[in-house]
Structure 1
Amino acid sequence: MIEAVGLTKRYGDRVAVDRLSFTVRPGQVTGFLGPNGAGKSTTMRMIVGLDTPTAGRVTVNGRPFAALDNPMRELGALLDAKAIHGGRSAYHHLLCLAQSNNLPKRRVDEVLEKVGLTQVARKRSKGFSLGMGQRLGIAAALLGDPRILMFDEPVNGLDPEGILWIRNLMKALAAEGRTVLVSSHLMSEMEHTADHLLVIGRGRMIADCTVREFIERNSALALRVRSSSPSELAAVVARAGGKTAPASDGALLVTELPAERIGDLAFEHGIRLYELSPLQASLEQAFMELTRDSVEYQAAPLRESS
């Protein structure tokens, strides 16, 4: 378990992490989300002792990471896939980590097989693709067979098969009762992978809940309606306080009115309904809505060409 209380990090006048308090529990995949510059990487670096908090504390199984007797046996982390000596092979990179952390040599072959790098184990890592580097970083995180895993953008550079593999790996690790914390910008992937979410913006916690709760709280319920008279129904809905938008196939997307009210309005005005169904908002839509005011760098809106 990872626990942070009032965790704060300042760089001069800039506050990168602002009084974060959270718990990452075992048995589930916890997604760590936020716009660029939100403080995710800084927080993860403080968890493993690479950065020192300005205030507050963060512990791993009740102790600071630096105080752990065998840190790689308790927490494995992928923070930077490029942090590898390019002249070393994948095998010797992992062997060096194993020997310096008093881990059995057999673990090197085991994790290489687990991440699919056995055939290139003796090749120098400087020739690895970005995806292969990610797999090697994941192998290093798994080397000590830790109960806690932490991954920063683990699917960078992976092809669809690799993305599916890391998704299944995370779920399998959580199913074994391990604690899994993963940071990612791929909302669609987090929607399929994470059980719980920690969302930060400008260094502050703005959501700590399940994926379903996050979507329900931060997205308006939309209803898809197909009818015998879309324009008439749109006018009726507008008079009742609802909002409509046309769909590409002639249906209406209606918000701010419940399904029952739309059905009653259609019946009262003699409009036949062919479809009245809720639309499930995506994690990406909910995330964009919640973090709208927390984005550090915003581009100017694109103008349509004439």
Structure 2
Amino acid sequence: MIEAHALTKRYGERTAVSDLSFTVRPGVVTGFLGPNGAGKSTTMRMILGLDAPTSGRVTVNGKQYAEHRAPLHEVGAMLEARAIHTGRTAYNHLLALAATTGIPRRRVDEVIEIVGLGQVARKRAGGFSLGMGQRLGIASALLGDPATLVLDEPVNGLDPEGILWIRNLLKDQAAEGRTVLLSSHLMSEMALTAEHLIVIGRGRLIADTSVADFVRTAAGASVRVRTDEAERLRQLLVGHEVSVASVDRGVLEVTGLSSDRIGRIAADQAIALAELTPQQASLEEAFMEMTRDAVEYQAPAREPEGLAA
């Protein structure tokens, strides 16, 4: 378990993380999200004892990282996959880590097979592709068979097979009772991997909730309705806290009413419906909605076609 209490980090006059509190619990994959500059990397570095908080405290399994006698057995981390000696082979890189932390040699062989580097284990890591480097970084994180995993952008550079592999691996780790904290900018993949989310912006907590609740709360749900009597139905539906938009001829998008309620209203007025489909926003849409005021660098607004100079 990871517990952050009123965590704050300042660099001179700049506050990277401000009064941040959250708990990452075992048994589920927790996604750690935020725009660029939100403070994610700083927070992860404080979890691992690489940066000291200005105030507040963060513990892993009840202790600060430096207080653990055998940290690799408690926390496996990957913040920068290519932070390795490029002249070493993958095998020797892992063997050096194992030798300095009391991990048996057989565990090196095990993690090499787990991450699929068996055929290149004796090659120098400096010649690895980005995806192979990611696999080696993940192998390093798994080496101590830790109770907690902290991974920053683990799917970068992986092909579709590799992305599916890391997704299943993290779910399996959580299913075994481990604590898994995962940071990624790939919202589609986060939606498939994580069950819980911690979202921050400008160093402050925005949300600490399940993926389903985050999407539902942030973006709201709408219902797509198709009927030959769209205008008549619109008049019946629109009202306080209910909005109705025309998205195409004969097609309405209704926000503020459930599909069951819309169906009953239509049936009472003998309006035939060709389609009545609940629409759910994506995690990406929900994330953009919830963090739009916390983005450090805004892209310029796109001019309508035909108006550009």
Of 245-254 and 212-221, deviating more is 245-254
Q: Return the letter of the residue paired with 1:181.
A: L
RMSD of Structure 2 on Structure 1 (CA): 1.8
With over 3 angstroms needed to count, the CA separation of the structure-2 counterparts of 1:72 and 1:255, relative to structure 1, is same
| Deviation string, structure 1 residues 127-160 (Cα, Å, up to 9, x no partner) | 1111111100000000011111110011111111
**How many residues are matched?**
306
In the alignment, which residue of structure 1 is the partner of 2:203? 203
In the alignment, which residue of structure 1 is the partner of 2:136? 136
- Inter-partner Cα distance in structure 2 for 1:220 and 1:6: 30
- Inter-partner Cα distance in structure 2 for 1:4 and 1:246: 46
| Deviation string, structure 1 residues 86-141 (Cα, Å, up to 9, x no partner) | 11111111111111112111111110110000100111111111111110000000
Cα distance, 1:85 vs. partner? Answer: 1.3
- Inter-partner Cα distance in structure 1 for 2:240 and 2:106: 69
Structure 2 counterparts to residues 14-163 of structure 1, below 5 A:
14-163=14-163
Cα distance, 1:218 vs. partner? Answer: 1.1
SS at match of 2:163: helix
SS at match of 2:32: strand
SS at match of 2:274: strand
| Deviation string, structure 1 residues 210-243 (Cα, Å, up to 9, x no partner) | 1111112111220010112334434554477743
| Structure 2 residues without counterparts, runs of 5 or longer | none
| Deviation string, structure 1 residues 169-228 (Cα, Å, up to 9, x no partner) | 000000111111101111111111111111111101111111111112111220010112
Cα distance, 1:244 vs. partner? Answer: 3.4
SS at match of 1:290: helix
Q: Return the letter of the residue paired with 1:94.
A: L
Of 179-188 and 280-289, deviating more is 280-289
- Inter-partner Cα distance in structure 1 for 2:269 and 2:254: 17
TM-score by length of 1: 0.94
TM-score by length of 2: 0.93
Q: Return the letter of the residue paired with 2:65.
A: F
- Inter-partner Cα distance in structure 2 for 1:265 and 1:201: 41
| Identity level (%) | 63
Q: Return the letter of the residue paired with 2:40.
A: K
| Structure 1 residues without counterparts, runs of 5 or longer | none
